[in-house]
Amino acid sequence: MALTDFMDRHLPQIEMELEKCLPQAVVYPETLHKAMRYSTIGAGKRLRALLAVAACQMVGGSEFSSLEAACYRFAAAVEMLHAYTLVHDDLPCMDDDDYRRGKLSNHKVFGEGLAVLAGDALLTESFALLMQLVDLAIPADVTVKVTKELALAAGSRGLIGGQAVDLASEGQLVDAEVLRYIHTHKTGALFRAVLRGGALLAGASDTELEAVTTYAEHFGLCFQITDDILDVIGDEAKLGKRVGSDLESNKATYVSLHGLKRAKEMAKETAQAAHGAIQIFGDNRVLRELTDYVVARDH
């Protein structure tokens, strides 16, 4: 299946699942639920959800249709967890961003206190959603495995660790090693867990899981390099944030460390390596095209 067909088929389903899984805005306390929905519904490219579904489909093959409902629930949990990280990252005491995805950031609309709580709630509810996998034909032991993946990836030795080092590095020039730590943890760990989680839902063998993991690691790197490139050459209107902000804040990026030309080569090399990793799967077109999509994106 081509990526465009894949997106046409699954993106509306993912949005519907999120709409259904998030507490409605009329549920008390309404403002909290409005704040949770504000930063989750209709926002973002759903890259993590798409990766989860793609991995599950690639590994599951013809079995995928029986896994679809569980896979969407997993995808919704992942997007809620991702949304929490953005809400907290934008806080004045963190990156202090007034805009996110072209609209006011959560704390600018709802206030800092509620933004902290909305983020906390998105994180907590994402774990509650994962526990529902057992109601959707996923065995309890697989549910535990998938949840463990996500919790470790999102924890202090994963995503939050990366954010903590990023926070500590602000305004300082950091070396390539620290930069790599920040990226593999702040963004890479979640990509990895999402892809592995999708594969585990489909009952991946050890070999299959290893292939997906290698893909995930190259994909994460490719994503971050492209992100850094876009901060230099991107279109502000499409990005929904100011271009050159990394440069201004003296932030280490792949471009500042290696130059624009080399960074572009690196993006292509990591995409190639990602493709190579999943050659063992016959039908891997969606995940191949997803890396190309990441390299070619302009927002």
Structure tokens at 258: 């290696």
Question: DSSP H helical segments within the chain, as ranges?
Answer: 3-21, 30-38, 47-60, 64-89, 106-110, 112-131, 140-154, 159-169, 176-183, 189-201, 206-233, 236-239, 245-248, 254-258, 260-277, 285-296
If the CB atoms of residues 52 and 150 are measured against a copy of itself, the closer one turns out to be 150
If the CB atoms of residues 111 and 259 are measured against a copy of itself, the closer one turns out to be 111
Question: Tokens 């963190």 identify what position?
Answer: 94
Q: Judged by CB under 8 A, which of 70, 86, 114, 195 binds a copy of itself?
A: 114
Told to check if 98 binds a copy of itself by CB under 8 A, we report no
Which SS3 state, helix, strand or coil, does residue 99 take? strand
Q: Judged by CB under 8 A, which of 2, 131, 137, 233 binds a copy of itself?
A: 131
Q: Judged by CB under 8 A, which of 56, 83, 121, 179 binds a copy of itself?
A: 121
Across the strands, what pairs with 99?
104
Told to check if 180 binds a copy of itself by CB under 8 A, we report no
Task: Compute CA 152 distance to the chain's CA centroid, rounded to the nearest angstrom.
Answer: 15
* Contacting range for a copy of itself; rule: CB under 8 A; set: 10-18, 25-33, 221-229, 280-288: 25-33
If the CB atoms of residues 160 and 243 are measured against a copy of itself, the closer one turns out to be 160
Q: Rounded to whole angstroms, how far apart are CA atoms 236 and 30?
A: 33
Question: Tokens 């774990």 identify what position?
Answer: 127
> Which residues of this chain interact with a copy of itself, rule CB under 8 A?
23, 27-29, 31-33, 36, 84, 88, 91, 93-94, 111-114, 116-117, 119-121, 123-125, 127-128, 131, 134, 139-141, 143-144, 147-148, 151-152, 154-157, 160-161, 163-165, 167-168, 181
